[in-house]
Amino acid sequence: MGPYLVLATLLALVAAVVLAWPLRGSRALFAGLVVAISVMALSLYQLVGTPAGLDPAQRRAPETLEEAITQLQTDLERDPRQVEGWRLLGRALQQQERMVEARDAFARAARLDPEDLGLQTEYAESRSRADAQRRFDDEAVEVLEHVLGLDPTQQRARLFLGIAYRQAGRNAEAASTWEPLLATLGGDAAAGLRAQVDDARASAGLDPLPSMAQREDPTAADDGLHVRVALDPEFAARVRLDPAAVVFVIARSPGVPMPVAAQRHTVADLPLDIVLGDADSPMPTQPLSALPEVEVLARISSSGSATPQEADLSSAPVRVRLPATDAVELVLGAAPRDR
């Protein structure tokens, strides 16, 4: 009976999201549905997160978000070492605008699982949201710096740390922290962040980043790295991919996760025949042309995020000595070669 109830709750949660999304234009109606979804999520946690939840007859299901929060708080008093319980409580309290209590809940979760970098980032953000001026304090900055020190691909941590530096007047550091994000964004998001980067650079007395016209200058392509990306024919014949799925083409220093040059495309654009150059560098202080050797790969992102996920599809990385005269051939979906 327990697994059936868990599955039913999950299906109800998914259905509620699907039904609520088209109504997001009506704020009152959408907000009501979001609260209902939150109650479902908290109820689900109580089913699978505590021993008492294995027998639903022993407890009444909460009917409101407030009741769900109260029940979860009671569970956490009985067993305070539930990381996901504290995390879920923090999120629910934020929905009620109880930001100080939410911060404290995230703090408990973060102390219990210091290796969960996403959780640490959420904790740092909660400290900002609990501040009347929405400022990141010293502890939040320390947490975000620690997260990026362990994993430079944590995008939310990078975004928040740039904001924190900007708030503190550390404008050059804010700009350099944000710049790697530019290669992972597209459209209006990239343009908006680029404007913030240029503002921070101007405040620091630095020149703006190269213009898009300079980035697209075909005369600059001759000095870049020629890359071709294609799908393996057998793979393409048996697997249907979303044409809108994001494809990242990346050059990086061997053994370093952050790219020194990157371009964002879609599956519909494949096969690709592109040139990676200094204009594609997310960090102008470390251009592609300054490196003696790079590792080149392509990746279809399952989430649209530049942060690698387990479900992503990546080509085999290819090491290239620079400058290179021949094109780098990357194949997505090819079966691994026997060694």
147-161: per-residue pLDDT in tens?
999 988 899 999 999
How much is the pTM? 0.59
d(CA 16, CA 304): 23
d(CA 259, CA 182): 11
Cβ contact 259:183 at 8 Å: yes
Each residue's pLDDT tens digit, 81-114:
999 999 999 999 999 999 999 999 999 999 999 9
- Among all chains, which residue has been given the structure tokens 């530096």? 165
Q: Give percent above pLDDT 90 in the chain.
A: 49
pLDDT bucket at 35, cuts 50 / 70 / 90: low
Each residue's pLDDT tens digit, 249-258:
999 988 888 8
Give yes or no for residue 187 having a pLDDT over 50: yes
Mean pLDDT along residues 269-298: 86
- Among all chains, which residue has been given the structure tokens 């109650």? 39
Summary mean pLDDT of the chain: 81
Contacts 24+ apart (CB under 8 A), 259-262: 259/180, 259/183, 260/286, 260/287, 260/288, 260/291, 260/294, 261/183, 261/225, 261/288, 261/294, 262/183, 262/184, 262/306
Mean pLDDT along residues 264-292: 85
pLDDT bucket at 229, cuts 50 / 70 / 90: very high
